[in-house]
Chains A and B, each alone.
Chain A
Amino acid sequence: MLTRRSLLKSAPLLALAPTVPAFLAKTARAAGPKPETRALVVVQLDGGNDALNAVVPFADPEYAKLRTKLRHDTKRLVKLNDSLGLHPALKPLDKLWDGGHLAVVPGIGYPNPNRSHFQSMATWHTARFEEEEIRASYGWLGRALDAGGGESCVVAGDAPQAVRGRRAATIALTRADDLLLADPAAAKAAVGRTPQADDLLAFVQRQAVSANTSAEKIAELTRDRSDAAYPATALGQKLQLVARLLKSGSAARVHYTSQSGYDTHAQQENAHSILLSEFAEALSAFFADLTAARCADRVALLAFSEFGRTIKENGSAGTDHGTAGCAFLAGPGVKGGIHGTAPSLTDLVAGEPKMTTDFRRVYAATLANWLGLPAEGLGASIAPVTLFR
C-alpha cells in the first residue's frame, strides 16, 4: 500500500518536482498530435477483479462445479473461442475484439502471490517482490521514463507508485477543473510581476505564474468538447478527460487512471456486472472517440487488477482474495486475441490456480515494443509477450 516509509523519504523529492511538466509546454507548441508519440493508458482495476468470471473457461466442467451460484450461463457469454468467453457485461468490447484490437491475457500473475491488496498492488506497481525492495523502489513506469525520457499524467488525486521515478515528472488531476481556473482574469491579475528575489513571496509568485500557465494549457487541451458520447460513470469521465488530453496532442507518454470497487466479498453478481459494464462501455467510448479524432493509432490501453479472486465462491455469494488474474490490452496497435493459456482449475497451489503468464512479460512488451522505452529495469530474463503488431 502506501509503503509509508518510502513515501516519507521521497516527500522532499516530490515537493521539488516541476509544477508545469514539459509535456504541457510542448503540447502548446505542437501543431497537433504526432503519430510517432505513442502513448500508454493504464487503467487500474482496484480491489481484485474476479478473473474466472470475467474471462470464463466455459468448456471446463470444473468451472460449473466451482461456481454453483455465480456461474454464467454459457449461452450469454461473449465467445472468444471454443473454450473461453467474456462476461456478458463486457459485450461493448465486441467491436474492439472483432477488429482485432483487443488482447486478453488470462492467468496473469507473479510467483508466490501475496493476497494483500496493498502488497500485491505494490508488486504490480514496482515489479518487485520482496517487501524491502518494493519499499525502496520507484515504479515500473517511473524507472522506464527516467531511463528513456518522458512524463506521465495521472487522472487521480495523487501519483501512484507505478509512475514515480527519480526524475520523471508527473501531473495529477482528479477532474479537469482541478487545473482550470474559475476566474482566469482575476487570477492572472492577482499574480503581479515575478520578482528576482528568492524569498517566500517570490517563490509563491513564481509558482502562481506556473499555475496560471498550467491552467491555460489544460484549458486549451480540454477546450475541444466535440467528443463522442461517453457514459456518465466515473471511469467514463476519467477516460473522457484522458481522451481530450490525447486529442489535443498531450505529449505525456503515460496516462494513468483507475476504477475501484472490485473487492467483491459478498453478493458479487450484480456488483461485478455493473463494474465490468462500466469498464467496457468506457473503453468502447474511449476508442470510438479517439478513432473519430484520428488519433487512436498512437494509443494503447492496459487494464490490470492486483489479483484474481478465489476460484471457489464463498458462503455469501462472493469471492475472496485469490491469485492469478486477467489483463486486457486494447488499441489499433495491439495484436488482438488470447495470449497465453487459461490456468488449470485442477492443478492448484493452496487451492488456487498457478499463473500462466508472468505480468512482467506484458510490461516488457509494453515498454519495449510499444513505448520504445528501456525494459531492462524489469530483469534481464523477462521475455516480452508478442502483444503488439
Chain B
Amino acid sequence: MPTQHWKAYAPDAKAPWDLRRVVHLHRRAAFAAPWDELQRDLKAGPEASVNRLLKGTANGHTPDDFAPTAEVLADAAVSAGDINRLKAAWFYRMLFGPDPVGERLALVWHDHFATGNTKVRNARAMHRQNELFRTHGRAKFADLLNAVARDPAVLEYLDAPTNRKGHPNENLARELMELFILGIGNYTEADVKEAARCLTGWSVDADVFAEHATRHDDDSKTVLGATGKWTGADLLNQLLKHPATADRVASKLVKAFFGEGACPADAVKELARGLREHDLDVNWACGVVLRSRLFFADANIHTRITAPAEFVAGTARALGLFDPAPSTLAMADWSARMGQDLFDPPNVGGWPGGRAWITSRTLIARANYAAALIEGPNAGRTTAYDPVAATKAAGLGATRADVLAHHHRLLFGTDPTAEMSTRLAQLDGRKLVIALLSTPEAQLG
C-alpha cells in the first residue's frame, strides 16, 4: 500500500531491532515468547521474524502431536458438553499452537462477533464457531462474515430462528449493522427493520444453518437506499460494499495490534482505504500492520493493557512453562477471574477492553495468578518455577540482581530501571518474580 503511515519498518539507530522490539512483536501479535525464541528472532531480524509469525510457524515449542491432541481435547469437551473443557482446549492452542497470530485473530473475532454460551448452551456449536474463526480469521472479510452470519451459535444467540415473515425479530439485523459490520451512524432504524425482513427464514435445524423459504418475506424491501426483493445473502453483499465496513475492520485490527493512542486516526483511515482496495483482505492488512514502522514505533511499545487471556497464556509462555505446563483448565478459570471468561463475553458488544480490564478484583486476580503460576499447585503444576535456574540458563549469575535483570529482559526486553530495582529490593527468588509479574508495568504489553 502506498503510504505515508504504513511504510515498512527497517531498523535504524532511532528504532533498532533490539530485544525490546522482539518482545513487543511477540506480545502484541501473539502470546509472548520464551527466552530461546526471543534470542532466535533477535538474530533472525524483523523480516524473518514477522514472516514466521504470519506464516504460522513462530512457535518453537509446538509438540509433534499438537494437531491431533488439540482435536482430541476439543472433541472430548464437545462430547461431554462441557464448556469449561472447551475453554481449556483453546488455552492449549494458545500455549502450544504453531500459529499464535491465528489464535490472536480468533480471539479478536470472538470478541467482535461476541456470542455467549450462557444463552447458546451448546458446546458443539461454540466449538464450531471457534473453528470458523480459525479457518476464516485471516481470510477476506466477506468469507468470514458470510460464515459468521450463518453460524448456528450466532443465530441462536441473536434470536434469528424466531425471525419470520410477519413476526420480525430484529436482533440479528441490528447487530449486523451496529456491531458486526457498519457501526452506529451508518444506518437508520428503518434500515434495521427492513434488514430484519431480508433475514426472515434464516434459522437453525438440528444444529445446522437452514433457510426456510416459507418463512421468508419475499416482498420488496429498501435497505440503505436500495430497493429490491432482497434475501439475507443480498443484504450481506450490500453491507459488505458499504464504505464503513472497511473502517470498522480497520479499527478492529488497530484495536488488536496497537496501544492506547498509538495509531493516528489518519492511519486508520488509510488502512481502511487499503482494505477497500484489497477486497477487505484481513491477511493483507495484518501483513501491512505487523511490518510497519508504526507498529514498531516507540509510541506503540508498552502502551496497551494486556487482555486477560493474553496475560494468562503469555506469562506461561514467556516463562517457558511447557513441561510441566500449567493446567489449561486452571488457565481458563484464571482468565475468567480476570474478567475474560472465554465463550461467555458479557454481551453481544464483546469485552469493553482497554482500561476496563483493570479493576480491583481483576488486578488481584492477576497478582494471584502470578503467584499461582510461580508456586505451582494453584495453576495445576507439580513443581515450582525456578528463577535462578532460568537466569543461569540465560547466561547470567545467581544473584538477585541477575534474577531481576533476566526476568525484566524476558518480560520487557529492557534492563530494570534504578527505580524498579529499588521497588523490588526487599524480594528475592520466586517472590521477586511474582512481584515483577504483579507490577503495573507487567499489565501493559
Contact = CB atoms under 8 A, between A and B. Distances in A.
B356 A182 contact: no
A207 B358 contact: yes
Contacts of A15: 352, 355-356
Which of A177, A190, A204 counts the most chain B CB atoms within 10 A? Answer: A190
Interface stretch (B105-113, B128-136, B361-369): B361-369
B434 A186 contact: yes
A19 interface: yes
Interface in A187-213: 187, 189-192, 200-201, 203-205, 207-208, 210-211
A183 interface: yes
A172 interface: yes
Given A7-B346, A15-B355, A200 B259 contact: yes
Interface string B420-432: 1001101100010
A187 B435 contact: yes
A228 interface: no
A235 to B, nearest CB: 21
A184 B182 CA distance: 46
A204 B424 contact: no
Contact of A192 (B303, B372, B439): B439
Interface string B336-367: 01000000001111001001101111011101
Contacts of A207: 358-360, 363, 440
A200 B359 CA distance: 14
A182 B259 contact: no
Interface in B219-259: 259
Pairs A-B, 3 closest by C-beta atoms? A204-B440, A186-B435, A15-B356
B443 A204 contact: yes
A357 interface: no
B368 A20 contact: no
Interface residues of B, number: 44
Given A172-B361, A204-B305, A211-B364, A190 B436 contact: yes
A2 interface: yes
Contacts, number: 126
A181 B367 contact: yes
A214 B360 contact: yes
A59 interface: no
A186 B431 contact: yes
A345 interface: no
Contact of B444 (A180, A186, A187, A204): A204
B364 A11 contact: no
A11 B352 CA distance: 7
Contact of B358 (A190, A203, A215): A203
B355 A191 contact: no
Contacts of A208: 363, 440
Interface in A52-71: none
Which of B119, B358, B441 counts the most chain A CB atoms within 10 A? Answer: B358
B361 A8 contact: no
Contact of B368 (A11, A182, A191): A182
A99 interface: no
A208 B442 CA distance: 12
Given A2-B347, A203-B358, A205-B440, A190 B424 contact: yes
Contacts of B358: 203-204, 207
B371 interface: yes
Contact of B364 (A7, A172, A181, A200): A181
Contact of B423 (A172, A181, A190): A190
A238 B371 CA distance: 25
Nearest to A24: B360
Interface in B389-445: 419-420, 423-424, 426-427, 431, 434-436, 438-441, 443-444
A20 B360 CA distance: 7
B260 interface: yes
The SS class assigned to the B binding surface is: helix
A185 interface: yes
A383 interface: no
Interface in B106-128: 116, 118-119
A132 to B, nearest CB: 13
A40 interface: no
Nearest to B432: A186
A201 B444 CA distance: 8
Contacts of A187: 364, 367, 435, 438
B119 A2 contact: yes
B360 A210 contact: yes
Contacts of A210: 360
Contacts of A214: 360, 364
A183 B371 CA distance: 7
A12 interface: yes
Contacts of B363: 204, 207-208, 211
A200 B305 contact: yes
Contacts of A1: 119
Contacts of A2: 116, 118-119, 347
Interface string B11-40: 000000000000000000000000000000
Interface string A1-13: 1101001100110
13 contacts: A4-B349, A8-B347, A11-B349, A20-B360, A178-B361, A179-B364, A183-B367, A190-B438, A190-B440, A191-B439, A200-B304, A204-B443, A207-B440
Which of A2, A187, A214 counts the most chain B CB atoms within 10 A? Answer: A187
Contacts of B305: 200, 204
Given A200-B305, A208-B440, A192 B419 contact: yes
Given A173-B361, A181-B368, A210-B360, A11 B440 contact: no
Contacts of A186: 367, 371, 427, 431, 434-435, 438
A211 B348 contact: no
Given A192-B423, A200-B260, A210-B360, 12 more contacts: A4-B348, A7-B347, A15-B355, A15-B356, A158-B346, A185-B427, A186-B435, A189-B423, A190-B436, A191-B440, A204-B358, A207-B358
Nearest to A6: B347
Contacts of A189: 423-424, 426-427, 435
A319 B438 CA distance: 50
Nearest to A177: B368
A178 B365 contact: yes
Nearest to B341: A157
Contacts of B424: 189-190
Which of B259, B364, B371 counts the most chain A CB atoms within 10 A? Answer: B364
B361 A179 contact: yes
Contacts of B444: 200-201, 204
B336 to A, nearest CB: 8
A97 B436 CA distance: 55
